[in-house]
Structure 1
Amino acid sequence: MQESISLTGNIPEQDAGKRLDQSLASLFPDYSRSRIKEWILEGGVTIDGTVVDKPRDKVLGGEQVTIEAQIEVQGQHQPEAIALDIVYEDDDILVINKPAGLVVHPGAGNQSGTLLNALLNHCPEIESVPRAGIIHRLDKDTTGLMVVAKTIPAQTHLVAQLQAREISREYEALVNGIIVAGGTVDEPIGRHDTKRTSMAVRAMGKPAVTHYRVMEKFRAHTHLRLKLETGRTHQIRVHMAHLQHPIVGDPLYGGRPKPPKDASETFRQGLREFKRQALHAAQLELAHPVSGEWMSWQAPLPQDMVAMLELMQQDKRDNPEDW
């Protein structure tokens, strides 16, 4: 479903010599440069009454510009009354604490019951924002904080922050094995050669950087705090597996449960029954897209990770000779 928009204005004199797409992105800041470039290529932009189709063309300054374009809206998806754990909301943005099991965006096999369906129900006006304002994703079984834009201008500014790596995202994870000290993984990530749904460290992949530090060490596991510098698909999961310390319970990259020697049956059973990656988006920080105010939110660990952490701590207390 598409919605028509019409924009008019005059290119500032001081823009003389700039690229057309660059000048128009400044003139109409509610829309991204990439979106404006698409409109130019589609023939939706006229300068002084003449259609232009080359984003690289230089402007003279003072020209009158008109844009007639189409924006995709979410008409094909239905609103659904799905409860949301809302951490913060104003006229421009929404921050939620996503539970495990909630798919973010409809796709093959998941046309309903997603976060997008819930957003359309919670704030129907978000239908006019591409992807219902979803700026970044969390995997289905990863929990924690996500920001959603409620307007196109807010989305444009948040996407720009994300691309400039100005949005801070920190996670907590329980991983297999003992990590002695913190560090950084700087390894490119791309689609796995043979496993269609998996990613992998690949020389020709996209740059990916993950920083991590140790919060607590156990007999056979480590509690980590991680910070994303980039946001590739499955990034933390792939990077931890690359270090030979996959996330506990990870169905794609984790392998079998790895209890320590002489672990209690309660602990062993807890590991066997933990069927999702023990990964949680614990902190989110960004500049508000309208006010510019620096904002920060935290979300406590979900109960299943708290319970697993308690089992690890109990195992550590029960075996003091190993420390």
Structure 2
Amino acid sequence: MNETIQLEAIVPESLAGKRLDQILAELFPDYSRSRMKKWITEGKVSVDAQVIEKPREKLELGALVAIDAELEREERYQAQPIELDIVYEDDDIFIINKPAGLVVHPGAGAPDGTLLNGLLHYDPDIDHVPRAGIIHRLDKDTTGLMVVARNIPAQTQLVDMMQKREITREYEAVCNGVMTAGGMVDEPIGRHPTKRTHMAVVSTGKPAVTHYRVMERFRAHTLLRLRLESGRTHQIRVHMSHIRHPLVGDLTYGGRPRPPKQASDEFLASLRGFNRQALHAAKLSLHHPISGDWMSFEAPRPDDFVALIQSMKDDLEAHSHP
């Protein structure tokens, strides 16, 4: 069953003369502008009992605006019992620590068995929220923190916060090569011109900014802390590859094993056995979308990430003495 939405309001003096879609966004802020526009064009909105299907229609003071619409459930996705590492939950949001190997959203190659399917099983009511409340994604083999909305008001607010860069996301990554200092990559990212499943730095892409600083240096690798200003697909992976420091294990963007000279067999095995990009969403900070309270969460490095870093420390130690 879909959820029926019935809302009414009188146009106040402060909104008189404005467009219908603008007025609805102001009067009913729990719902996104794009959703309001869709309801208007579908004939779900009336003004003084007359259906209006033009978002740009201007309204007068005192007009009675009414919405009679339905929130569609995510019918096409099935609930599945998938283990979720829930760091925090309340009535409005989840904070989830995603493991490597878990796809966030169904798509080509992963029709089910995803985080979304697990969310629908854990919280059946979340099927009222578009994409089961998922407002940002992590790649299948990237680990770490994500925020998920449990209702429409929280989702609307979180999407707005994400667009305004009010949600801080910090990552840890191990890249190939020894970096001398931190810095920033400010390069647009778009679809690769010939490899359609890859992203790339392209002049026609969307703006993307990645800040990074050096946490630790090894003989042939560097542990980094990174912060995103934008959230493009594969952003960190593409940007680090662009500056010739691709992430360890990221074969898509050039991160094949590059061991230092005279590396031990154990270290070589550790490098070759790390079969995903070495990227972890370590910290997530935001104002709660409903209460406004400041919240900050950290996820420990996963075991394989810890083991990779330790092998690099051991290699450095073994070669630091004459």
TM-score when normalising by structure 2: 0.97
What CA deviation, in whole Å up to 9, does each residue of 1:86-142 have, x standing for no partner? 100011100010000000011122122110111111111111111111111000000
**Are 2:168 and 2:284, in contact at CA under 8 Å, matched by a contact in 1?**
yes
Q: Which runs of 5+ in 1 are unaligned?
A: none
**Are 1:250 and 1:278, in contact at CA under 8 Å, matched by a contact in 2?**
yes
In the alignment, the residues of structure 1 paired with residue 159 and residue 167 of structure 2 have an alpha-carbon distance, to the nearest angstrom, of 9
Match of 1:244 in 2: 244
What CA deviation, in whole Å up to 9, does each residue of 1:156-188 have, x standing for no partner? 111110011100000000000011111111100
Instruction: Give the letter aligned to residue 124 of structure 2.
Output: P
**Are 2:135 and 2:149, in contact at CA under 8 Å, matched by a contact in 1?**
yes
Q: Does 1:264 align with 2:253?
A: no
Match of 2:179 in 1: 179
Task: Give the superposition deviation at 1:281.
Answer: 0.3
What CA deviation, in whole Å up to 9, does each residue of 1:204-240 have, x standing for no partner? 0011111100001111100000001000000000000
Task: Give the superposition deviation at 1:293.
Answer: 0.4
Match of 2:206 in 1: 206
1:205-224 alignment, distance < 5 Å = 205-224=205-224
SS in 1 for 2:286: strand
Report how many aligned residue pairs link the two structures: 322
In the alignment, the residues of structure 2 paired with residue 256 and residue 117 of structure 1 have an alpha-carbon distance, to the nearest angstrom, of 33
Match of 1:98 in 2: 98
1:77-156 alignment, distance < 5 Å = 77-156=77-156
Match of 1:42 in 2: 42
Match of 2:280 in 1: 280
SS in 2 for 1:244: coil
In the alignment, the residues of structure 1 paired with residue 144 and residue 150 of structure 2 have an alpha-carbon distance, to the nearest angstrom, of 19
Of 129-138 and 107-116, more deviation after overlay is shown by: 107-116
Of 73-82 and 242-251, more deviation after overlay is shown by: 73-82
SS in 2 for 1:125: helix
Cα RMSD for the two superposed structures = 1.4
**Are 1:11 and 1:24, in contact at CA under 8 Å, matched by a contact in 2?**
no
SS in 1 for 2:174: strand
Match of 1:76 in 2: 76
**Are 1:178 and 1:219, in contact at CA under 8 Å, matched by a contact in 2?**
yes
Task: Give the superposition deviation at 1:32.
Answer: 0.8
Instruction: Give the letter aligned to residue 179 of structure 2.
Output: I
Percent identical: 65
SS in 2 for 1:238: helix
In the alignment, the residues of structure 2 paired with residue 10 and residue 96 of structure 1 have an alpha-carbon distance, to the nearest angstrom, of 40
